[in-house]
Amino acid sequence: MKMNGAQAVLESLRKEGVRVVFGYPGGAVLDLYDAIYTEKFPHILVRHEQGAAHAADGYARAAGGVGVCLATSGPGGTNLVTGIATAYMDSVPLVCITGQVGNPYIGKDSFQEADICGITTPITKHNYLVKAAKDLPQVLKEAFFIARTGRPGPVAVDIAKDVFTQEIDYAYPEDVHLKGYAADFSGDATEVAAAAEAVAAAKRPLLIVGGGVTLSDTAKTVREILDLTGIPSATTLMGVGCVPTARENFLGMAGMHGTYAANMAIQECDLLVAVGMRFDDRVTSDVRGFAPRAKIVHFEVDPVEIDKNVVADCRVLGDLRRSLPLLKEKLAALGVDFRARFSGWSRYMVEMNNEKPLSYKKRAGCIMPQQLIETVSELAADDAIIVTDVGQHQMWAAQYYDAKEPRRFLTSGGLGTMGYGLPAAIGAKVAHPGRQVILFTGDGSIMMNCQEMATAAANGVAVKIIVVHNRVLGMVTQWQRMFYNKHYSQTLLPGGTDFVKLAEAMGVEACRIQEPARLREDLAAALASDAPQLIDVIVPGNVDVLPMVPGGKSLDEMVLESE
């Protein structure tokens, strides 16, 4: 087929099954946007390019596919950078398409020129600068292949402006063959066998589930392994939802703000089976004191992560979609009654979890933030998707919201990006228009990308935005309170922002809740709305997220109660 470069981009997106893109037009992509107009390609106009990247990220996490965002050259491309870095840290597959100045102007500091390939090299799996339209089909085929295979991640495709108008004979490749990039992530069966033998030899094993289980859609297999063995389990922040809260022998989230039992299980176990996690410092704290009695079995698709933070005694390198079913098979073949073998250990950890559960103290006349999260958890639909921004509300949501399935709890874990939540929630709702999508955000985080309320209103994207409004930058003030002699330097927000007026100005319905007696009734009414809705909930500003492992301490040195 004869077509120009702009048409070739859209046809390639169709070939990859892309249902919608998120973007913002500009000079270098005018020809691409003209093709979008002519061909009526599904596109959602965000109000800031960072919003486009986060929306594509939220779409990808919720849908389980590749998210796509578009931006123009120069500041358009650089505005994507925070969103690209967010996706890179959490292994989210994105294809980020940017315009570049025309070929004759590249490298001459032309108007709105920026070296997007150079800028994004550290935060992408790969990137391309396309200078000829004939290369577009191959490049885009490769970009999607790289983004979704192995350890997923973002790929940047920078396209010179004149490429969009060049004519080509379009043909989309059927296969991808990349020198130095093998698509075989099946791994070694002998490593899985060794892992199974390690479980059989253990007396106090613990299975900890990370974001890789979500990304590989293997939560069902993990649950089957837990049913077979009766092993206690915990999750990282990125693994929330892979094991339901009510599931047998589940201890909750581990790490800096994890449960007492989950962290103590790490410290007391003799075998730690880590599945799809990278031993981030928010999970391990001081690695010198991490799991001191345990042998480590590490299931991981990316060889770079093996032994990077915590040295593994047994590695299982490969795609979890192959290695976990094989582990279940080999465990069953051993003929060991694992449930009987580990019953005493499991009972001990469950009793510890019951003795020191997550808890908080209520205050007369106040809505406590934990109470808010619990109430939403009770009112939300069974298949609701929860999105968070970053800060105290994020940790309370991870602790107190009962996420029962993977891809139902979306958050910026690795980069910790304030402003992620609202555009990501929009992306998730576009991916699943029939599901309830609820955002927990703070009065600090929501201001980072509050302009995207206009995007939700203009497109009828009925996200529910719950502002946990405490008039402080909560997590930073907590650290200042605990470790900086209460020097609240630039973290207090006296008077606050009238988020009801702000939302209404952007076309979003809004209400405020500050009476504890009306919390459930008003929340239920707001969540039932078919329109985008902001719910401004006033909570105290001096509540700590607990438990907490202070920086530099080991997991068994948790702070359990505030002063």
The per-residue pLDDT for range 94-116, each reduced to its tens digit, is 999 999 999 999 999 999 999 99
Residue with tokens 């609240």: 488
Q: What are the residues facing 300 on neighbouring strands? A: 317
Choose, from 11, 16, 49, 300, the residue flagged as catalytic.
49
Q: At what angle do helices 320-333 and 189-201 cross, to 10 degrees?
A: 50
Active site residue 238: no
Percent pLDDT > 70 in the chain is 100
The per-residue pLDDT for range 516-555, each reduced to its tens digit, is 999 999 999 999 999 999 999 999 999 999 999 998 899 9
Active site residue 405: no
The dihedral through the CA atoms of 332, 333, 337, 341 has a sign that is negative
Choose, from 111, 483, 486, 501, the residue flagged as catalytic.
111
Report yes or no: 487 and 558 within 8 Å, Cβ to Cβ.
no
Residue 340's φ and ψ, nearest 5 degrees, are -70, -40
Active site residue 111: yes
The per-residue pLDDT for range 382-397, each reduced to its tens digit, is 999 999 999 999 999 9
Q: What are the residues facing 68 on neighbouring strands? A: 95
pTM: 0.97
Active site residue 349: no
- In this predicted structure, what is the pLDDT of residue 165? 98
Choose, from 264, 277, 475, 558, the residue flagged as catalytic.
475
* DSSP helix/strand/coil, 28: helix
Higher pLDDT: 184 or 260? It is: 260
Q: What is the mean pLDDT of residues 196-225?
A: 98
Report yes or no: 509 and 465 within 8 Å, Cβ to Cβ.
no
- In this predicted structure, what is the pLDDT of residue 563? 57
Choose, from 50, 112, 371, 399, the residue flagged as catalytic.
112
Residue 89 has pLDDT above 60, yes or no: yes
Average pLDDT, the chain: 97
Cis peptide before 547 (omega within 30 of 0): yes
Strands 167-169, 2-4: pairing is antiparallel
Cβ-based neighbours of 188, under 8 Å, separated by 6 or more: 316, 317, 318
Active site residue 49: yes
At 120, is the pLDDT very low, low, confident or very high (cuts 50, 70, 90)? very high
At 417, is the pLDDT very low, low, confident or very high (cuts 50, 70, 90)? very high
At 174, is the pLDDT very low, low, confident or very high (cuts 50, 70, 90)? very high
Q: Please give the structure tokens belonging to residue 103.
A: 């070929």
